[in-house]
Structure 1
Amino acid sequence: MTTVRQFQVTFDCAEPERVARFWCEVLGYVPPQPPDGFASWDEYNQTLPEDERDSWFACTDPNGVGPRLFFQRVPEGKVVKNRVHLDVRVGTGLVGAERLAALTAERDRLIPLGAVEVLLQEADEVNESCIWMNDVEGNDFCLD
């Protein structure tokens, strides 16, 4: 019998805290508390060597259900389409116009946060509607 393991999803990015805070807003996640002895992440960062400051950030599901998201700074930018992306399930159980309305409402909430719509895929005979989007650093995700 296979054991189910917890996992985290890791994002490569240029500005870990900025991207993490975007995803907190999208998913209702929260940043972790700063390490013991520090009142804030800024205070903690000031104790690190300069090249390690702001090199990572994380966020978690406050209900403990979803995976931890980890954001790490990398020197290179995104060049091609992600091979893995998140599907944000806002239309689960909905079909047709009702589903499309839920997806577009969520899209409209996320655009002021820095998300960009790439493609609206409207329902056909086989698939329901979904919206392909980019986060604040161009990482692909779908409203599904």
Structure 2
Amino acid sequence: MASVRQVQVTVDCADPERVARFWCEVLGYVVPPPPPGFKDWGAFDRSLPAERQGSAFACVDPTGAGPRLFFQRVPEGKVVKNRVHLDVRVGTGLRGDERLAALESEGDRLERLGARRVQLLRADGFTESCLVMQDVEGNEFCLD
């Protein structure tokens, strides 16, 4: 039997720190401490060659339960739908109007952080309702 391994989710983006800080707010994640010898991430970033400054940022679950999220700068912009996306579980165990209210409430909060609503997918007898959204750079995710 294979052993369980830790997982890091990596997101390509234009502005890694901005996107990471958005996801900190969405998930309750935090920015990890800077490497030893640096008082903050800004000092670490300034120590890098100019072309590497601002090229990456990360956030972590303060409880250690969730995966680390790593954001890396890439030169190309997003042009198609994500092949992988995050589902943010805000309606677990809820059904009907109660679930829709939870999705709408969290959707409103995330819009104030810069997210954009894409589509509300209503329950169809097989799956429950979910709200498709985009983060501050257009990466799709679901509130479910």
Q: Distance in 2 between matches of 1:3 and 1:51?
A: 38
Name 2:63's counterpart in structure 1. 63
Structure 1, gaps ≥5 residues long? none
> Aligned ranges for residues 107-118 of structure 1 at < 5 Å?
107-118=107-118
Name 2:133's counterpart in structure 1. 133
Q: Is 1:94 aligned with 2:94?
A: yes
Name 2:24's counterpart in structure 1. 24
Q: Distance in 2 between matches of 1:118 and 1:74?
A: 24
Q: Normalized against structure 1, the TM-score is what?
A: 0.98
Q: Which amino acid aligns with 1:24?
A: C
Q: How big is the shift at 1:2?
A: 2.2
Q: Is 1:53 aligned with 2:38?
A: no
Q: Distance in 2 between matches of 1:60 and 1:44?
A: 18
Query: Which segments of structure 1 move beyond 4 Å, counting only runs of 4 or more?
Result: none
Q: Distance in 1 between matches of 2:90 and 2:41?
A: 31
Q: Secondary structure at the residue paired with 1:70?
A: strand
Q: Over residues 26-72 of structure 1, what are the superposed CA-to-partner deviations in whole Å (9 max), with x where a residue is unaligned?
A: 00000111111211111111111100001000000000000000000
Q: Distance in 2 between matches of 1:31 and 1:3?
A: 28
Name 1:5's counterpart in structure 2. 5
Name 1:103's counterpart in structure 2. 103
Q: Secondary structure at the residue paired with 2:117?
A: strand
CA RMSD of superposed structures (Å): 0.7
Q: Which amino acid aligns with 1:104?
A: E
Q: Distance in 1 between matches of 2:54 and 2:67?
A: 22
Percent of pairs with identical residues? 69
Q: Which amino acid aligns with 2:96?
A: G
Q: Distance in 2 between matches of 1:107 and 1:52?
A: 34
Q: Distance in 2 between matches of 1:96 and 1:103?
A: 11
Q: Distance in 2 between matches of 1:113 and 1:50?
A: 29
Q: Normalized against structure 2, the TM-score is what?
A: 0.98
Name 2:15's counterpart in structure 1. 15
Q: Distance in 2 between matches of 1:96 and 1:46?
A: 51
Name 1:78's counterpart in structure 2. 78
Q: How big is the shift at 1:124?
A: 2.2
